């Protein structure tokens, strides 16, 4: 960004800054995410200096970039945020819940403003009220906060006691200044400052005066901006050693070159100054403070601040990474073909060739793992958006919530990260709205006043397990059965607890007594299950009435390459996801029992299991009778197991998944396809579909 600034300093030239827009928007989004996370974690009683400095730097970076590209509304709002944050980090003010609230609201407003500048069709917020509230807080005055429609417990907000410190340079009235610029090698560069006053609305009026005896340009300026703001603005075009500001209103010299200009001292990692904007504060009528702060969730672990993006990361478009993964997939297929053909060679005569192919096999696998890791993103990317959502939701519902997270470093494929965010959001909102009780109800039950929602992620074998757990009222078996019967569903009392809990996954099923804008419209959990099933995942629900509820989501690590078990049925080869395979064994035909309607069962350790003959399911032609005993492969999905009858186990291998639906059409009980080493296509079985088939 620093290099970008050097190239584009002369805004009056022909430099096209639009080429840097994408970088700015990405960095601004990252800074907003980081600032929001740190604000939610901020300890108001014992605010850490480094945290306050880091929050200040985030706002400062956004302001600098926005001013460079001429996004005046973004720069104006971030400048006001900076003013408040600067006083906090200098300990001139003590942070309070209303300050956190207004900074979080400003973060939301900035996201919308940035989205509009990106060309998206969004409703842009009016920032006038935010600017006024921030300005009043920065001066230690009470502010009016938005009123929450639903009642909630009041919050005792400590009064702000401003520390005795020099008043800010900005004055509410207009000042008359003389700006001396120079001497300069190219005097025309000083004219850029006059252009700023014409381009930036509300900055003030400027007129050129005759040069002084030192051949310096002089401008007479009428403005409400502070010396600090003007100096920040001018240094985009002229070095601060060449600028002198003389306050004609007070007949006293302003800051001399090299003086303390306030905002940027001691702010590491800020490579540039930025133009700022100043608006006079507007007085608004005081209103009751919103009780959102007390209901804010607390995150148990604090993630370390990420390193500077310029030094530790390289921005690459997703399309390039996908292309790289596709090429590696083709390389894996080619390597498998060479490995298969090499088995036909004489090992003695072709020893060097076989050794080279063995090295190629090892290098291909290492390359594949390295490329796949590029798409792997830590779960913290998803987890970090929930504290803010819960804080607002808890305040709206009048509840107190603590969010506890585990396993933020667990990595998942980027494609899955994007698709799992919405289902997890619904589960967490559901826990807060339906699961957790109001504070007075929890106290009456002997629980803590604040409810806990635990969000965890961990690796289990070839999959990732994400759990959303709360310590609320849990599910009521009687209530679920009653609701199911009202809807005409088959719900006998003999259903197991797990089957009763799964009733809430039925389409249109809801136990909400009151429909709110949060949940209870009868949609959600069925969509959650459908979305997760489309990713090859499963959902498990567990609950204890009065103690809480747990929802476990199990997903494959990636949708591009997987470990599979290849099996043969007649002359056809099928691939089973290795994560679904439990065991395999050989049986005699007499071990298979036929029951009503031709269904078959096999007894495995005193348990009868449904049998699925893949030969019949896929109508595989058999050209010769195979007298060998069939082999059973037990697979598990959705908590149920079935035994698949196959002719032979060919072995375990990594397969590159190809989308069958986009290349051909959707085929029942098939989730995709892959290319084997001999060039043939093998179908990947949909174990969830096969299990559902056995139930019917």
Per-residue pLDDT of 460-500, as tens digits, reads 766 788 999 999 988 888 888 888 888 878 778 888 888 88
- In three-state secondary structure terms, 181 is strand
Please give the average per-residue pLDDT across 199-209, as a whole number: 76
Contact 205, 174 (CB under 8 A): no
H or E, element range at 460: strand 451-460
CATH number of the CATH domain containing 642: 2.40.50.180
* Domain co-membership, 343 together with 459: no
* Domain co-membership, 489 together with 577: no
H or E, element range at 57: helix 49-68
Residue of 265 and 667 predicted with greater confidence: 667
Q: Which pLDDT score, from 0 to 100, does residue 302 have?
A: 40
How many residues does this entry show for the chain?
696
Q: Is the pLDDT of residue 286 over 60?
A: no
Contact 54, 305 (CB under 8 A): yes
CA distance 564 to 560: 12
- In three-state secondary structure terms, 637 is strand
In a domain, 271, yes or no: no
Long-range pairs for 318-327: beta carbons < 8 A, 24 or more residues apart: 318/414, 321/374, 321/375, 324/371, 324/374, 325/371, 325/372, 325/375, 325/560
* Domain co-membership, 113 together with 140: yes
Structure tokens, 123: 């409703």
H or E, element range at 113: helix 97-117
* Neighbour count for residue 624 (Cβ, 10 Å): 7
CA distance 577 to 561: 11
In tens, the pLDDT along 236-252 reads 677 777 788 887 765 54
Return the beta strands (E) in 161-314 as ranges.
175-181, 205-209, 217-223, 243-247, 252-253
139-143, 267-271, 280-284: which is most confident: 139-143
Q: Is the pLDDT of residue 621 over 50?
A: yes
Residue of 405 and 488 predicted with greater confidence: 405
In a domain, 357, yes or no: yes
pTM, rounded to two decimals: 0.53
* Neighbour count for residue 327 (Cβ, 10 Å): 11
Q: Which pLDDT score, from 0 to 100, does residue 575 have?
A: 92
Burial of 82 (0-12, 13-18, 19+ CB in 10 A): buried
Residue closest to 694 by CA, chosen among 577, 598, 559, 569:
598
The contacts of residue 576 (CB under 8 Å, 6+ apart) are: 564, 565, 566, 567, 633, 635, 644, 684, 685, 687
Supply the DSSP string of 390-456, one letter for each residue.
HHHHHHHHT--EEEEEE-TT-EEEHHHHHHHHHHHHHHHHHIIIIISPPHHHHHHTT--SSEEEEEE
Out of 253, 285, 313, a domain closes at: 253
Q: Which pLDDT score, from 0 to 100, does residue 574 have?
A: 93
Please give the average per-residue pLDDT across 637-656, as a whole number: 84
CATH number of the CATH domain containing 217: 3.30.70.100
CA distance 235 to 219: 16
In a domain, 477, yes or no: yes
* Domain co-membership, 416 together with 328: no
Q: Which pLDDT score, from 0 to 100, does residue 467 have?
A: 92
* Neighbour count for residue 481 (Cβ, 10 Å): 17
Cis peptide, bond prior to residue 183, ω within 30 of zero: yes
Q: For strand 607-613 and strand 640-646, is the pairing parallel, antiparallel, or unpaired?
A: parallel
In a domain, 179, yes or no: yes
Q: Which pLDDT score, from 0 to 100, does residue 440 have?
A: 92
Structure tokens, 433: 């709205």
Residue of 492 and 644 predicted with greater confidence: 644
Out of 311, 340, 375, a domain closes at: 375
Q: For strand 538-544 and strand 548-556, is the pairing parallel, antiparallel, or unpaired?
A: antiparallel
Chain mean position to CA 411: 13
Q: Is the pLDDT of residue 513 over 70?
A: no
CA distance 235 to 91: 27
Confidence of residue 512 (pLDDT cuts 50, 70, 90): low
CA distance 165 to 180: 29
CA distance 68 to 158: 38
Please compute Rg for the chain using Cα positions: 33
* Domain co-membership, 50 together with 126: yes
H or E, element range at 352: helix 351-374
Confidence of residue 524 (pLDDT cuts 50, 70, 90): low
Residue closest to 197 by CA, chosen among 172, 227, 221, 228:
221
Chain mean position to CA 362: 35
Please give the average per-residue pLDDT across 355-366, as a whole number: 89
Query: What mean pLDDT value characterizes the chain?
Result: 75
Contact 687, 576 (CB under 8 A): yes
CATH number of the CATH domain containing 435: 3.30.565.10
Lowest mean pLDDT among 54-68, 278-292, 590-604: 278-292
Q: What is the rounded end-to-end Cα distance, in angstroms, of the chain?
A: 61
In a domain, 56, yes or no: yes
Q: Is the pLDDT of residue 25 over 80?
A: yes
Q: Is the pLDDT of residue 16 over 70?
A: no
96-100, 466-470, 507-511, 520-524: which is most confident: 466-470
* Domain co-membership, 543 together with 570: no
Structure tokens, 545: 């009435």
Q: Which pLDDT score, from 0 to 100, does residue 443 have?
A: 92
Domain range spanning residue 683? 561-695
Residue of 261 and 318 predicted with greater confidence: 318
Confidence of residue 319 (pLDDT cuts 50, 70, 90): confident
Contact 390, 453 (CB under 8 A): yes
In a domain, 47, yes or no: yes
* Domain co-membership, 545 together with 593: no
The number of CA neighbours under 13 Å toward the Cβ of 399 is 26
DSSP state of 541: E
Lowest mean pLDDT among 140-154, 352-366, 490-504, 577-591: 140-154
- In three-state secondary structure terms, 527 is helix
In tens, the pLDDT along 410-431 reads 888 887 888 888 889 889 988 8
In a domain, 151, yes or no: no
Q: Which pLDDT score, from 0 to 100, does residue 616 have?
A: 87
Q: Which pLDDT score, from 0 to 100, does residue 468 have?
A: 93
Q: Is the pLDDT of residue 74 over 80?
A: yes
* Neighbour count for residue 41 (Cβ, 10 Å): 16
H or E, element range at 132: helix 128-138
CATH number of the CATH domain containing 106: 1.20.120.160
In a domain, 304, yes or no: no
Please give the average per-residue pLDDT across 85-92, as a whole number: 86
Q: Which pLDDT score, from 0 to 100, does residue 189 have?
A: 66
* Domain co-membership, 244 together with 103: no
* Domain co-membership, 681 together with 591: yes
DSSP state of 520: -
H or E, element range at 470: strand 463-470
Q: Which pLDDT score, from 0 to 100, does residue 101 have?
A: 87
* Domain co-membership, 593 together with 492: no
Q: Which pLDDT score, from 0 to 100, does residue 469 have?
A: 92
H or E, element range at 68: helix 49-68
Q: Which pLDDT score, from 0 to 100, does residue 453 have?
A: 93
Share of the chain above pLDDT 70, in %: 77
The number of CA neighbours under 13 Å toward the Cβ of 465 is 12
Q: Which pLDDT score, from 0 to 100, does residue 510 have?
A: 63
Angle at CA of residue 261, ends 20 and 280, nearest 5°: 80
Out of 215, 230, 253, a domain closes at: 253
Question: What's the total number of domains in the chain?
Answer: 5
Residue of 194 and 325 predicted with greater confidence: 325
CA distance 203 to 233: 10
CA distance 332 to 369: 11
* Domain co-membership, 89 together with 179: no
* Domain co-membership, 390 together with 366: no
Residue of 83 and 656 predicted with greater confidence: 83
Residue with the two structure tokens 């060449």: 242
H or E, element range at 498: helix 497-501
CA distance 74 to 89: 22
């Amino acid at each position: 960004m620093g290099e970008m600034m050097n190239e584009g300093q002369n805004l009056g030239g022909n430099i096209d800054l639009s080429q840097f827009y994408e970088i700015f928007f990405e960095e601004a989004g990252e800074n907003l995410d980081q600032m929001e996370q740190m604000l939610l974690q901020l300890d108001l009683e014992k605010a850490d200096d480094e945290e306050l400095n880091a929050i200040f730097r985030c706002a400062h970076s956004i302001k600098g970039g926005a001013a460079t590209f001429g996004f005046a509304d973004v720069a104006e709002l971030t400048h006001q945020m900076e003013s408040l944050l600067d006083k906090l980090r200098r300990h001139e003010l003590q942070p309070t819940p209303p300050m956190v609230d207004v900074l979080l609201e400003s973060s939301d407003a900035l996201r919308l403003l940035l989205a509009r500048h990106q060309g998206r069709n969004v409703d842009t917020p009016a920032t006038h009220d935010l600017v006024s509230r921030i300005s009043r807080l920065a001066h230690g005055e009470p502010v009016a906060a938005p009123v929450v429609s639903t009642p909630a417990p009041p919050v005792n907000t400590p009064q702000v006691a401003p520390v005795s410190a020099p008043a800010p340079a900005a004055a509410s009235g207009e000042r008359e200044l003389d700006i001396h610029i120079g001497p300069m090698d190219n005097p025309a560069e000083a004219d850029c400052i006059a252009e700023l006053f014409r381009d930036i609305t509300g900055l003030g009026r400027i007129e050129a005066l005759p040069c002084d005896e030192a051949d310096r340009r002089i401008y007479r300026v009428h403005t409400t901006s502070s010396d600090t703001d003007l100096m920040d603005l001018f240094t985009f075009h002229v070095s601060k050693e060449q600028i002198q500001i003389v306050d004609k209103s007070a007949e006293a010299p302003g800051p001399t070159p090299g003086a303390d200009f306030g905002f940027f001292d001691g702010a590491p990692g800020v490579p540039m100054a930025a133009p700022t904007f100043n608006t006079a504060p507007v007085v608004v009528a005081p209103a009751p403070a919103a009780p959102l702060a007390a209901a804010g969730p607390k995150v148990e672990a604090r993630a370390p601040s990420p390193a500077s993006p310029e030094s530790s990361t390289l921005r690459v478009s997703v399309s390039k990474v996908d292309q790289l993964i596709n090429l590696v997939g083709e390389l894996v297929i080619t390597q498998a073909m060479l490995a298969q053909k090499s088995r036909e060679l004489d090992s003695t005569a072709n020893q060097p060739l076989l050794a080279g192919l063995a090295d190629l096999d090892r290098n291909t696998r290492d390359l594949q793992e390295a490329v796949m890791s590029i798409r792997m993103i830590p779960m913290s990317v998803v987890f970090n958006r929930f504290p803010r959502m819960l804080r607002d939701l808890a305040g709206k519902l009048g509840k107190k919530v603590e969010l506890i997270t585990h396993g933020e470093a667990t990595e998942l494929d980027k494609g899955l990260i994007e698709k799992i965010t919405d289902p997890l959001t619904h589960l967490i909102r559901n826990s807060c709205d339906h699961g957790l009780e109001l504070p007075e109800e929890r106290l009456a039950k002997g629980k803590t006043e604040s409810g806990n929602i635990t969000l965890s992620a961990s690796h289990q074998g070839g999959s990732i397990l994400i759990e959303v757990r709360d310590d609320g009222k849990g599910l009521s078996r009687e209530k679920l059965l009653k609701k199911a019967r009202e809807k005409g569903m088959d719900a006998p009392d003999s259903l197991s607890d797990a089957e009763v809990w799964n009733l809430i996954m039925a389409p249109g099923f809801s136990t909400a007594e009151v429909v709110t804008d949060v949940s209870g419209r009868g949609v959600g959990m069925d969509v959650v299950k459908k979305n997760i099933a489309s990713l090859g995942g499963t959902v498990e629900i567990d609950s204890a009435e009065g103690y809480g509820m747990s929802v476990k989501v199990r997903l494959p690590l990636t949708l591009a390459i997987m470990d599979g078990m290849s099996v043969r049925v007649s002359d056809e080869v099928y691939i089973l996801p290795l994560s679904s395979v439990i065991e395999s064994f050989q049986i005699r035909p007499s071990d298979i029992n036929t029951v009503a309607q031709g269904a078959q069962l096999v007894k495995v350790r005193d348990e009868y299991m449904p049998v699925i003959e893949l030969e019949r399911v896929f109508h595989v032609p058999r050209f010769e009778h195979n007298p060998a005993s069939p082999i059973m492969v037990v697979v598990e999905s959705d908590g149920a197991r079935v035994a698949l009858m196959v002719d032979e186990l060919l072995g375990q291998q990594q397969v590159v998944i190809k989308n069958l639906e986009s290349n051909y059409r959707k085929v029942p009980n098939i989730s995709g396809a892959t290319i084997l080493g001999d060039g043939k296509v093998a179908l990947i079985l949909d174990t969830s579909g096969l299990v559902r088939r056995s139930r019917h």
